[in-house]
Chains A and B, each alone.
Chain A
């Protein structure tokens, strides 16, 4: 059974029909990537899953349980955590305080300490910077911190929105390495990316979106070798 299952999602922005029945699923131990051009509806899909945007039709279920109408902040408690695009960390708090914010919904002190240990093992860069003000971190470190912060609430699934945005190629590689780490630690990832080639390199499966619909899906190998994908996204 899929951890995250999305069926026939429709979203409207006023009169504009932005998503036309998007269906996708994320299984245990996998990275699933959602690729597509600008404006294809990738971020909208994420917003609909995490409850920020109103869903007109369709259903999101977690571990087979339909979520129904739910407030975005309650989703975090249930285990769906989104890391928003653009490395939005709390710039004037320290790295440690940022991680603390990530565990906001949790009250088990011992568990939080343990999660922090695990997260820091995954992102050793952050360990050296615990007391540093987060705004002074480099772009790559900030993205890692954003992911680490998301992991602090012990999610069932992590939704990553454009983690490579605005990063130098070398840092993108680092960040994607970290995404694989997250998966290896048992948290499945739904990765939304414009950088299709890089995303398909690390993903297990992928979906290609075009104008609000899933136009293609398959394993990473299939997509990497697909002629249409190659022409459109891989150049």
Chain B
């Protein structure tokens, strides 16, 4: 609340600026943001990705619009939006003029960078300030013309932003959707073209895309379609919602359920079929994280046991599978005469059992630890497993840093090996479906209720006759089972495993995906895994910056949808409750200050 108070007092103070002052401030802030992006290097990285591109006759390089240029345009546009919002200018023309002013200032601020670059060499300090960046900022036209282009483009974008802000939502939404879709399809063109790699589709694909980006005609077509779809949707939505609400509860649920199921089938089952190996690999990874997410969801979402050592169970599953099946001198079957070599399916079962066993062992020392302390304690336990595997002490058995190699693929009863990522993905998906069913049943069982009770209040749970020891160890053991299963699939996916595959970051990722998806919600786990594991994989070419996007995405979700992308019913209820309580408290405070102000003469004078 303190933050809101400060923010609102800040807003109060801002009202004192003249409209022009607002334009200058907005322009300077967004121009500075642009300079920052350039200094950090992200701007040029974005500049290498085309959104709209075509190769003019006789030219070697494509021309068009890049992501980096679009980013600058968006900054200028946003400056326009800010001015329109802050000044509250009602007249369209005046608002646009102010927006253009703000955009102009933003462009002018940006101009400072190429001017300085042409005068002084700053590369020894800012390695991102390359000749390429200079060319980008000046549009390859030299300093004089380049500056003019920056200023004009900035002013136009700013005016456009202000115009958008002043338009009615009905007119604005189609435009915004058209732009967003053009940009997303342009950015992900490589992926889409890869997917559309079929001979029948070739002419269509070539009409839309060049090898670098969207053709202008493609971009316009996509924009028009997106705008039309959203416009139609906006006009029919109210009516559709009315009909939906008018349906009886059962049918509503059925319709909703079948819609969700259809979406899941499309994305999870059919999509990988047509997607090719790269996407298959990504989907397999997502599948593994869905499995782990479901396991950790039992521990954290249902039982409230914060666990940062979850990766340990994943490692146990992977190592169990490896040591039972691998064609390696470390495999138990090769070291001990009487011990059989397992096939992958049996090894998977053993991996799950071992994970459960380790999960229970893991739970014992932390039984009496609660809350934040539990997070730290499990963090330590998780690291112990990795360090143990790396140690010289365990090296003769667990292969140390060299890892266990030659892990065979699963064989079907037909004798065919399942070694292609997409086939393995379907195994992971099947396992996830079984796991989801178990998790769903557990949630509504007696054990699930006991978990809910200990999550909410351990002491009371005990006072109601719930055996804390059993219930907690079951949470760790069952949660670990899912991770063990994921580990077994992971081992055969890579065909070799090393201790460094099991870093803390995996635990953190799993935790983040269930928080983003929605604590305690099964569909939330799927959505969270798609968002947090899938997206960074697709953004791989942005290198280290993808973690930046990852961070931004997490913060944005927590700020905009604090209950998660797909919250469970209980969590939604809880958030609502908090909201109501806060509203009540605020209303009370407001009433008190009001009566206080009325009774004390100095009150209103301030």
A141 smallest CB distance to B (angstroms):
15
Chain A interface SS verdict (over half): mixed
Residue numbers in A under 8 Å from B452 (CB-CB): 90, 93, 101
- The complex places the Cα of A92 from the Cα of B462 at a distance, in Å, of 18
Interface residues of A in 42-83 (CB under 8 A from B): 50, 52, 71-77, 81-83
- The complex places the Cα of A102 from the Cα of B574 at a distance, in Å, of 21
Known: A92-B570, A92-B574, A133-B573. A76 touches B456 (CB 8 A): no
Interface residues of A in 79-116 (CB under 8 A from B): 81-84, 88-93, 100-102, 104-105
Q: Please tell me the number of chain A residues within 8 Å of chain B, measured between CB atoms.
A: 30
In the bound complex, do residue B463 and residue A101 qualify as a contact, i.e. CB atoms below 8 Å apart?
no
In the bound complex, do residue B459 and residue A90 qualify as a contact, i.e. CB atoms below 8 Å apart?
no
In the bound complex, do residue A101 and residue B449 qualify as a contact, i.e. CB atoms below 8 Å apart?
yes
- The complex places the Cα of A102 from the Cα of B449 at a distance, in Å, of 11
CB nearest to B453 among chain A residues = A101
Residue numbers in B under 8 Å from A50 (CB-CB): 463
Residue in B466, B468, B580 whose Cβ sees the most chain A Cβ within 10 Å: B466
B446 smallest CB distance to A (angstroms):
8
Cβ contact of B465, chosen from A76, A92, A100, A133, cutoff 8 A: A76
Cβ contact of B462, chosen from A72, A133, A136, cutoff 8 A: A72
CB nearest to B578 among chain A residues = A135
Q: Let me know if B258 is at the binding interface, CB within 8 A.
A: no
- The complex places the Cα of A136 from the Cα of B456 at a distance, in Å, of 16
In the bound complex, do residue A153 and residue B457 qualify as a contact, i.e. CB atoms below 8 Å apart?
no
Residue numbers in B under 8 Å from A149 (CB-CB): 464
A155 smallest CB distance to B (angstroms):
10
In the bound complex, do residue B464 and residue A76 qualify as a contact, i.e. CB atoms below 8 Å apart?
yes
- The complex places the Cα of A77 from the Cα of B459 at a distance, in Å, of 16
In the bound complex, do residue B466 and residue A104 qualify as a contact, i.e. CB atoms below 8 Å apart?
yes
- The complex places the Cα of A28 from the Cα of B446 at a distance, in Å, of 33
Cβ contact of A73, chosen from B449, B465, B574, cutoff 8 A: B465
In the bound complex, do residue B463 and residue A104 qualify as a contact, i.e. CB atoms below 8 Å apart?
no
CB nearest to B460 among chain A residues = A88
Please, what's the 1-or-0 string for A144-180, where 1 marks a CB less than 8 Å from any CB in chain B? 0000011001000000000000000000000000000
Cβ contact of A104, chosen from B457, B464, B574, B577, cutoff 8 A: B464
- The complex places the Cα of A92 from the Cα of B577 at a distance, in Å, of 8
Residue numbers in A under 8 Å from B570 (CB-CB): 92-93
In the bound complex, do residue A52 and residue B462 qualify as a contact, i.e. CB atoms below 8 Å apart?
yes
- The complex places the Cα of A77 from the Cα of B463 at a distance, in Å, of 10
Known: A91-B577, A136-B577, A136-B580. A104 touches B460 (CB 8 A): no
In the bound complex, do residue B449 and residue A76 qualify as a contact, i.e. CB atoms below 8 Å apart?
no
Q: Let me know if B450 is at the binding interface, CB within 8 A.
A: yes
Residue in A52, A73, A88 whose Cβ sees the most chain B Cβ within 10 Å: A73
- The complex places the Cα of A76 from the Cα of B464 at a distance, in Å, of 6
Known: A91-B577, A93-B456, A133-B577. A71 touches B463 (CB 8 A): no
Known: A73-B468, A101-B453, A104-B450. A92 touches B573 (CB 8 A): yes
B495 smallest CB distance to A (angstroms):
46
- The complex places the Cα of A89 from the Cα of B467 at a distance, in Å, of 18
CB nearest to B470 among chain A residues = A73
Residue numbers in A under 8 Å from B462 (CB-CB): 52, 72-73
Interface residues of B in 555-606 (CB under 8 A from A): 570, 573-574, 577, 580-581
Cβ contact of A81, chosen from B449, B459, B463, B580, cutoff 8 A: B463
Residue numbers in A under 8 Å from B577 (CB-CB): 91-92, 133, 135-136
B133 smallest CB distance to A (angstroms):
53
Cβ contact of A71, chosen from B459, B467, B573, cutoff 8 A: B467
- The complex places the Cα of A100 from the Cα of B456 at a distance, in Å, of 15
- The complex places the Cα of A101 from the Cα of B467 at a distance, in Å, of 13
CB nearest to B471 among chain A residues = A73
- The complex places the Cα of A150 from the Cα of B462 at a distance, in Å, of 12
Known: A77-B465, A92-B574, A133-B577. A100 touches B460 (CB 8 A): no
Known: A100-B449, A104-B450, A135-B577. A90 touches B456 (CB 8 A): yes
Cβ contact of A82, chosen from B446, B463, B468, B580, cutoff 8 A: B463
- The complex places the Cα of A169 from the Cα of B453 at a distance, in Å, of 31
A168 smallest CB distance to B (angstroms):
15
In the bound complex, do residue B573 and residue A101 qualify as a contact, i.e. CB atoms below 8 Å apart?
no
CB nearest to A149 among chain B residues = B464
In the bound complex, do residue A72 and residue B463 qualify as a contact, i.e. CB atoms below 8 Å apart?
yes
- The complex places the Cα of A83 from the Cα of B452 at a distance, in Å, of 18
Residue numbers in B under 8 Å from A133 (CB-CB): 573, 577
Interface residues of B in 455-514 (CB under 8 A from A): 456-457, 459-460, 462-468
Cβ contact of B466, chosen from A73, A84, A92, A135, cutoff 8 A: A73
Please, what's the 1-or-0 string for B437-459, where 1 marks a CB less than 8 Å from any CB in chain A? 00000000010011011001101
In the bound complex, do residue A73 and residue B467 qualify as a contact, i.e. CB atoms below 8 Å apart?
yes
- The complex places the Cα of A88 from the Cα of B460 at a distance, in Å, of 7
A82 smallest CB distance to B (angstroms):
5
In the bound complex, do residue A101 and residue B464 qualify as a contact, i.e. CB atoms below 8 Å apart?
yes
Residue numbers in B under 8 Å from A71 (CB-CB): 467
CB nearest to B577 among chain A residues = A135
- The complex places the Cα of A56 from the Cα of B410 at a distance, in Å, of 58
- The complex places the Cα of A190 from the Cα of B468 at a distance, in Å, of 25
Cβ contact of B457, chosen from A74, A90, A100, A135, cutoff 8 A: A90
In the bound complex, do residue A90 and residue B453 qualify as a contact, i.e. CB atoms below 8 Å apart?
yes
B448 smallest CB distance to A (angstroms):
12
A98 smallest CB distance to B (angstroms):
10
In the bound complex, do residue B459 and residue A84 qualify as a contact, i.e. CB atoms below 8 Å apart?
yes
Cβ contact of B456, chosen from A73, A81, A92, A150, cutoff 8 A: A92
Residue numbers in A under 8 Å from B467 (CB-CB): 71, 73
Cβ contact of A153, chosen from B446, B453, B464, B580, cutoff 8 A: B464
Residue numbers in B under 8 Å from A90 (CB-CB): 452-453, 456-457, 460
B329 smallest CB distance to A (angstroms):
48
A81 smallest CB distance to B (angstroms):
7
Residue numbers in B under 8 Å from A83 (CB-CB): 463
A134 smallest CB distance to B (angstroms):
10
In the bound complex, do residue A104 and residue B456 qualify as a contact, i.e. CB atoms below 8 Å apart?
no
Residue in B459, B460, B465 whose Cβ sees the most chain A Cβ within 10 Å: B465
Interface residues of B in 317-367 (CB under 8 A from A): none
Cβ contact of B449, chosen from A75, A77, A104, cutoff 8 A: A104
- The complex places the Cα of A102 from the Cα of B457 at a distance, in Å, of 13
In the bound complex, do residue B464 and residue A105 qualify as a contact, i.e. CB atoms below 8 Å apart?
yes
Residue numbers in B under 8 Å from A76 (CB-CB): 463-465
CB nearest to A136 among chain B residues = B577
Interface residues of A in 5-40 (CB under 8 A from B): none
- The complex places the Cα of A59 from the Cα of B453 at a distance, in Å, of 30
A-B CB contact pairs (8 Å), 29 listed? A50-B463, A52-B462, A73-B465, A73-B466, A73-B468, A75-B465, A76-B464, A77-B465, A81-B464, A84-B460, A88-B459, A89-B460, A90-B456, A90-B460, A91-B456, A91-B574, A91-B577, A92-B570, A92-B573, A92-B577, A93-B456, A101-B449, A101-B453, A104-B449, A104-B453, A133-B573, A135-B581, A136-B580, A153-B465
Kindly list 18 other residue pairs between chains A and B, CB separation below 8 angstroms, not including A88-B459, A153-B465: A50-B463, A52-B459, A73-B465, A75-B465, A81-B463, A84-B459, A84-B463, A88-B457, A90-B452, A90-B460, A92-B456, A92-B574, A93-B570, A102-B464, A104-B446, A104-B450, A136-B577, A150-B463
10 A-B pairs with least C-beta separation: A76-B465, A105-B465, A92-B574, A90-B456, A73-B467, A88-B460, A73-B465, A82-B463, A135-B577, A72-B462
B residues within 8 Å of A by Cβ?
446, 449-450, 452-453, 456-457, 459-460, 462-468, 570, 573-574, 577, 580-581
